[in-house]
A and B are shown apart, each in its own frame.
Chain A
Amino acid sequence: MEQRFFDNWTTQLRKGVLELTVLNALANKSLYGYDLVRSLGGDTGLGIAEGTIYPLLSRLKKEGLVESYLEDSAEGPARKYYRLTRAGHRMLDAMNEHWLAVRRTVDAMRKENR
């Protein structure tokens, strides 16, 4: 029962945090889709399967927060890179601000409990 509650909670948390993580990963640089997915999948604490990132990138693209472009590669076919749009940067600033506010509240409550 406890484990189930914890699993549900982490699932909900992950859903909200994943967008923020992806946008932050793209904040200052363009990233090759494959590298972005490999860096966020695996043992990162997010506990997500790598494939989860692709539908998310597609959704962020349709929302106009992220754009993609192809760049030639010496190792094979052209690679698809992702970067933030202007709207993406604005959204990321707002999300980071909100994230910090939430974090401050949670940290304050934890301090009170100590």
Chain B
Amino acid sequence: MIRMTDRAQERVDEYLGRVRRALSGYPEIDSDEVVADVRSHIQTSLRERPEPVGEDELTEVLGQLGSPGRWAPAEELGGWRGAMARIRRGPDDWRLAYLCFGLTVLAVIAAPFGGLLLLIPAFVLGRGTFAIAEERDRPLGAKRWLVVPALVAAYLPLAVVILLWPVLVSGAVFSPGGLMDWMQQMWDMPFPPHGSPAHWIHAVAWTAVVTGAWWSAVGGIAASRPMWVRRLFLPFAGGFRRSHAWGPVLIGVLASVAGITVLAVS
């Protein structure tokens, strides 16, 4: 096996994922075998390069292999499978970006009538636009701004939920009539009364412990699989690196330790 830099290895994995996706649905093609063949091809092409092989050398090899999206055209698939493949890949032109923008504008205009639901197809079209551009190695250029609003409208709430759901849940647990009150009634647990300083300290400390633990877990996952973050928040997290994940892990550990200390002392 040829040794590669982490980034180069991630690109190989990403490329092989694209190969698998591009060939799925074709019963006459064994995608596992093709993925294995392409992996072997990449290894053989790089065997005389100094190790660890970096991105530049890899880019040359992947460029010669070409874009997997063009290896097996969707029109070769008949019936419903062809239709599904075409829907999955979307049209091969800029209309997708304009359609995405149109839906976003319509969603905002029709917001009082439930139009915000249109942001869902707008988001799907936006991701599709970026996926096609990436697969075809054609930068979106200025047209990315047609797509960005739909993506931001989806990513922002998603990021808030991913990072802050323990805080939101804590609000429900510690508010009057919440889970804390229920537990107190069920098992006669000694929680401080609502509104007292002890209640607030208790609530904040528990929130810090849970949120901290969650951030540590999320940071750990992001550190071990930085590509998941890059793909989840495509195209905004393209520069996300393993090292970026250690910040949330550190903050999470500190918050948890602080919360546990406060709970222990109080």
Name A's B-contacting residues (CB within 8 A): 33-34, 37, 41-42, 48-52, 54-55, 57-59, 61-63, 75-77, 80
Looking at B19, B26, B34, B45, the one whose CB has the most chain A CB atoms below 10 A away is B34
Q: Can you list 13 contacts pairing A with B, beta carbon distance less than 8 Å?
A: A49-B67, A50-B41, A51-B41, A52-B66, A54-B41, A55-B29, A55-B71, A58-B29, A58-B30, A62-B30, A76-B47, A80-B37, A80-B40
What distance in Å separates the Cβ of B38 from its nearest Cβ neighbour in chain A?
6
B184 contacts chain A at the CB level, 8 A cutoff: no
Q: How far is the CB of B39 from chain A (nearest CB, A)?
A: 10
**B residues 56-88 in Cβ contact with A at 8 Å:** 64-68, 70-72
Q: How many residues on the B side are at the interface (Cβ–Cβ under 8 A)?
A: 24
Interchain Cβ contacts within 8 Å, total number: 65
Q: Which chain A residue has the least Cβ–Cβ distance from B64? A: A50
Pairwise interchain contact B28-A51, C-beta atoms closer than 8 A: no
Known contacts A41-B64, A51-B66, A52-B70; A58 and B41 CB within 8 A of each other: no
- Nearest A-chain residue to B62, judged by Cβ: A51
Main secondary structure, interface of A, reads: helix
State A33–B41 Cα separation when bound (angstroms).
8
Give Cα distance in the complex from A58 to B20, angstroms.
Answer: 13
Q: How far is the CA of A63 from the CA of B26 in the complex (A)?
A: 13
Residues of B within 8 A of A61 (CB): 30, 33
